[in-house]
Amino acid sequence: MGTADDNLDAYPVANSADIAKQVPVIDIAAVVQDASSADARNAVDKIAAACRDWGFFQVLNHGVSSQLVQETWSQTRAFFTQPTAVKEQSLRTRENPWGYYNNELTKNQRDKKEVFDYTTDGPDPIYQAENRWPEMSPEFATTMRAYRDACTDLGLSLLEAFCAGLDLPADYMRSDFARYHTGFIRLNYYPVKDPMGASTIEHLAVADLGIHHHTDAGALTVLLQDDVGGLQVFKDGFWHNVAPIEDALVINTGDMMQVWSNDFYQAAVHRVLAMETRDRFSIPFFFNPSATTTVDPLPTVVSDSRPARYRTIPWCDFRGQRTDGDYADYGPEVQISQFKIAAS
């Protein structure tokens, strides 16, 4: 990210009472059934508009069962309430990014949170590494796998809507995702108390946000948040609260979707405030293409009057570099702006 947006945190928070300035809430029952159907068209149009205007929206009737959601919350809480030494038995390493971590960096600043990441089963296609399931009850892994699979189904439906919204056949992107996607789930725990305590290393001492502002790297994110709040999206000079809604999931587009759509869809900048009174939990599913996918602006969004704005991005390299940057400070993070073709 260039220096232009380094001051974003200085912008004000919008007045949440103004309905026109709220992240759209969309009933997607028809999309989950069949995104290419006539019934789904209204929701597809709303999704496309939300992707253009906000890069963020909330969905209702998304098909992920509330019982599975409740089980996922209770296993998440059970994991994070264990003693640190126990959680650190599943500590991630540079070679294997799956497992527990409490010193995540966004834009090389430390976030005030703990995470547990897991992905598909078997060695993943980028790191050739296996999930590190903690030695708790076997229900933890069973529940987490079921939740991951439910999010994958929803992600595929949303991709169909995104494609339909760009006048492409709904299944246009399916082959880049369906079997060998590199998506993963992150369990986020934002404690009121700083997990690292005071640090003497200067840039590591800063933990004034739950997550510093960023865009998600992949195609789209499906986020489950609890009722605490604190997630904010940046739009038109203001930070907008993404208010928790019961039974809703929050969807946002990532960097690769912005490239595919040739900037029609925005990868929205978002952040999470530091918790001051209550601990917060959230669970994003980052839906990412297969390791062999190369990302270019799609045919329907490239024309003589709007040529491709990006060079080809090999997803595998992009993702690998972003993960390294999250783990430790290896210099500036990779951003899609580095692939931008200068306007002639």
Interface with ligand OGA (CB under 6 A): 186, 188, 211, 216, 223, 225, 231, 270, 272, 282, 284
Comparison of 71 and 210: residue with beta carbon closer to Ni ion: 210
What, of ligand OGA, Ni ion, none, does residue 176 touch, CB below 5 to 8 Å by kind? none
* Residue 235 C-beta: closest distance to ligand OGA, Å: 15
* Residue 284 C-beta: closest distance to ligand OGA, Å: 5
Comparison of 31 and 283: residue with beta carbon closer to Ni ion: 283
Closest C-alpha to 55, from 216, 169, 168: 216
Stretch that binds Ni ion, among 19-27, 155-163, 208-216, 241-249 (CB under 5 A): 208-216
What, of Ni ion, ligand OGA, none, does residue 164 touch, CB below 5 to 8 Å by kind? none
Whether the CB-CB separation of 341 and 310 falls below 8 Å is answered with yes
Comparison of 76 and 225: residue with beta carbon closer to ligand OGA: 225
**326: contact with Ni ion by CB under 5 A:** no
3-state secondary structure of 290: strand
Give 311: exposed, middle or buried? Use CB within 10 Å, 0-12, 13-18, 19+: middle
What, of ligand OGA, Ni ion, none, does residue 72 touch, CB below 5 to 8 Å by kind? none
Stretch that binds Ni ion, among 21-29, 109-117, 164-172, 212-220 (CB under 5 A): 212-220
Measure Cα distances from 176 to 158, 287, 295 in Å: 14, 11, 10
* Residue 16 C-beta: closest distance to ligand OGA, Å: 16
Comparison of 28 and 220: residue with beta carbon closer to ligand OGA: 220
Q: What whole-number distance in Å separates Cα of residue 297 and Cα of residue 308? A: 6
Maximum separation of any 2 CA atoms in the chain, in Å: 59
Binding mask 168-207 for Ni ion (x = CB under 5 A): ----------------------------------------
3-state secondary structure of 212: strand
Whether the CB-CB separation of 279 and 81 falls below 8 Å is answered with no
Closest C-alpha to 312, from 278, 262, 266: 262
* Residue 117 C-beta: closest distance to ligand OGA, Å: 10
**216: contact with Ni ion by CB under 5 A:** yes
Measure Cα distances from 274 to 5, 23, 101, 112, 121 in Å: 20, 21, 17, 7, 33
Comparison of 165 and 284: residue with beta carbon closer to ligand OGA: 284
Q: Point out which residues bind Ni ion (CB under 5 A).
A: 216
